[in-house]
Amino acid sequence: MFQQHPILPTNSLPIAIIGAGGIVKDAHLPAYALAGFPVIGIYDVDNTKAIALKNQFSFIEKNYTSLTDLITDATQKKAVFDLAVPANYICSVLEQLPDRAAVLIQKPMGESIKKALEIEKICKEKQFVSAVNFQLKFAPYCIAAKDIISQKLIGTVFDIELKVCVHTPWELWNFLYEKDRVEVLYHSIHYLDLVRSFLGNPKKVYASTIKHPNTKELAATRSCIILDYDEFTQARILTNHGHNYGLKHQESYLKIEGTKGAIKIKIGLSLDYPYGVPPTMEYIVLDDKKGWREIELEGGWFPHAFIGTMAALQNHYLDKKHPLIHSTADALETMLLVEKVYESSTNGGTLFKER
């Protein structure tokens, strides 16, 4: 009924993967298997990880023990480079890639706005066709939501709300315990990017991000973010990753309200993580007597959204008439918004003093 899937390239380009961590195992490779994208090779500084993935995913042609060798072979075969390395290694890897290459960079785009600007500078200087793997906007339900909105079924969008009240097992990502920024930079960044894809950049940002008493060793894991656009239009992002009281009252949803109707999506991935539950999607049009209608979804965030980020990059690389909505230039705007959120959290708020 509504579009849910990205346009796949007619002739898929080969992919060379740099990095063999959990996101590659759980999302990149399953997505490429579903889409039929060829993977010519994989490299990781920890070769045991690369070997394990090569054994698990038989369509990977070769495990490389040398990054230089992978880059050489990938360049000859005109492959797309898929960088899934820690954010602090992105720049050093980009510097080694050939000019004018097609490159997909795992989010975040560096761990600070300074690093994001450095990444963008390298991509421009080396004339890459480059994108950042902000994939939520490519999830089937988000593509369907865009289709509903483009058909004017719910009128003009004036309100977006994302709420996440879950128990996130942060111990799955040990590196986060050493970071000064956690929740917004590594999680709500997806929601900020998604809101931007619907409404563009906001005029004002109000935010507070705070620690949880049961995870004192981590930086902030709870956030309240308000994005104001005009006198009628607002987006809100509310996250609490410390709801460790069972699945019953966990919440994870995206709600979009328009002047003629609304959309409600359950983002199942975040619930009972890492197992997740199936996503659901409903929409309502005010003059439709049948009320809320459910849309049968064909996939979710993981791994299906990762098909879209690679497909869109390949399509744009092959033919510039195809838009690149997750380009590094656009991703830089999301990183700037992340920075404004942290600035608001640090500097905002009105002190209350009792009389």
Question: Do residues 291 and 284 make contact, with C-beta atoms less than 8 angstroms apart?
Answer: yes
Average pLDDT over residues 85-110: 96
First to last CA, the chain: 60
**What dotted CATH number matches 15-135+305-327?**
3.40.50.720
Please give the class, per CATH, of domain 137-294.
alpha beta
Angle at 216 between CA 210 and CA 220, to 5 degrees: 25
What pLDDT is attached to residue 188? Answer: 98
Question: Taking the model in full, what pTM does it have?
Answer: 0.96
Q: How confident is the model at residue 71 (pLDDT cuts 50, 70, 90)?
A: very high
pLDDT band with cut points at 50, 70 and 90 for residue 351: confident
- Split at pLDDT 50, 70, 90, the class of 205 is very high
Instruction: Work out the pLDDT band at 274, boundaries 50, 70, 90.
Output: confident
Sequence ranges of the domains in the chain? 15-135+305-327, 137-294
Concatenate the DSSP letters of all residues of 283-345 into one string: EEETT-TT--EE---S--TTTTHHHHHHHHHHHHHH-TTS--TTBHHHHHHHHHHHHHHHHHH
Mean pLDDT value of segment 238-262: 97
Same fold, 15-135+305-327 and 137-294: no
**Predicted confidence band of residue 355 (pLDDT cuts 50, 70, 90):** confident
**Mean pLDDT throughout 254-279?**
96
How confident is the model over 215-229, as a mean pLDDT?
Answer: 97
Report, as an integer, the average pLDDT of 263-272. Answer: 96
Return mean pLDDT, the chain. 96
Task: Give the residue ranges of DSSP H helices in the chain.
Answer: 22-23, 29-35, 47-56, 67-76, 90-94, 113-125, 140-150, 183, 189-199, 305-318, 328-347
> What per-residue confidence (pLDDT) applies to 146?
98
pLDDT band of 214, cuts 50, 70, 90: very high
Segment 45-54 shows an average pLDDT of 97
Amino acid 209: pLDDT: 98
pLDDT at 59 over 90: yes
What SS3 state is found at 172?
A: helix
- Span 282-286, average pLDDT: 98
pLDDT at 354 over 90: no
- The pLDDT, as a whole number, for residue 178 is 93
Q: Please name the residue that has the structure tokens 């980020």.
A: 309
| pLDDT, tens digit, 9 for 90 and up, residues 128-152 | 999 999 999 999 999 999 999 999 9
Peptide bond into 202 cis (omega under 30): no
Residue 18 structure tokens: 């740099």
